[in-house]
Homo-oligomer: A and B are copies of this chain.
Amino acid sequence: MSNENNSPNASAGMALAAVRERGPLVHCITNYVTVNDCANALLAVGASPVMADDISEVADIVRISGALVVNIGTLNARTIRSMKAAAAEARRRGIPSVLDPVGAGASSLRTKTARALASRGGFAVIRGNASEISTLAGDAGNTRGVDSAKAVAADGIAEGAVAFAKALALRTGSVVAVTGKTDVITDGAAVYAVRNGHPLMPRMTGSGCVLSAVTGAFVAAAAATGTDRAVAVASAIAFVGLAGELAAADAERLVRDGDASAGTSTFRTAFIDRLASVSPDALAEGAKIERLA
User: CB within 8 Å of B: which residues of A?
Assistant: 25, 31-37, 39-40, 43-44, 48-54, 56-57, 60-61, 64-65, 73-78, 103, 106-110, 144-147, 202-206, 250, 255-256, 259, 261-266, 268-273, 276-277
* Beta-carbon contact of A277 and B265 below 8 Å: no
Interface centre among A54, A56, A60 (most CB of B within 10 A): A54
Name 20 extra pairs, CB < 8 A, besides A36-B36, A43-B205, A60-B107: A32-B51, A33-B49, A34-B36, A36-B205, A40-B205, A40-B264, A43-B204, A43-B264, A49-B205, A50-B103, A56-B77, A56-B109, A57-B109, A64-B106, A64-B144, A203-B276, A263-B277, A265-B268, A265-B270, A268-B269
Residues of B within 8 A of A57 (CB): 107-110
Bound Cα distance from A73 to B272, whole angstroms:
22
- Residues of chain B within 8 A (CB-CB) of A50 are 103, 106, 145-146
Residues on the B chain within 8 Å of A36, using CB: 33-34, 36-37, 205-206
> Could you list 30 examples of A-B contacts with CB < 8 Å?
A25-B145, A31-B51, A32-B35, A33-B35, A33-B36, A34-B36, A36-B206, A39-B206, A43-B203, A43-B204, A50-B146, A51-B73, A52-B74, A52-B103, A53-B76, A54-B75, A54-B109, A57-B109, A60-B109, A64-B144, A250-B256, A255-B277, A259-B277, A262-B276, A264-B272, A264-B273, A265-B272, A265-B276, A266-B273, A269-B269
Residue contact B264 to A276, C-beta cutoff 8 Å:
yes
- The residues of B that contact A76 with a CB separation of less than 8 Å are 53-54, 78
Name, among A43, A205, A272, A277, the residue most crowded by chain B CB atoms within 10 Å (CB to CB): A205
Query: This chain: how many copies in the complex?
Result: 3
* A92 → B minimal CB distance (Å): 17
Bound Cα distance from A44 to B259, whole angstroms: 14
Contact call A52/B107, Cβ cutoff below 8 A: yes
Residues of chain B contacted by A61 (CB below 8 angstroms): 106-107
In the complex, chain B residues whose CB is within 8 Å of the CB of A64: 106, 144-145
Report the separation of the CA atoms of residues A77 and B56 in the bound assembly, to the nearest whole angstrom.
Answer: 9
Report the bound CA distance from A54 to B65 in whole Å: 28
- Kindly state the separation between the CA atoms of A64 and B203 in the bound complex, as whole angstroms: 20
A199 to chain B, nearest CB (A): 12
Contacts of A261 in B (CB 8 A): 276-277
Taking CB atoms, residues of chain B closer than 8 Å to A60 are 106-109
Contacts of A276 in B (CB 8 A): 203, 261-265
Instruction: Please name all residues of chain B whose beta carbon is closer than 8 Å to the beta carbon of A264 when the two chains form the complex.
Output: 40, 43-44, 272-273, 276
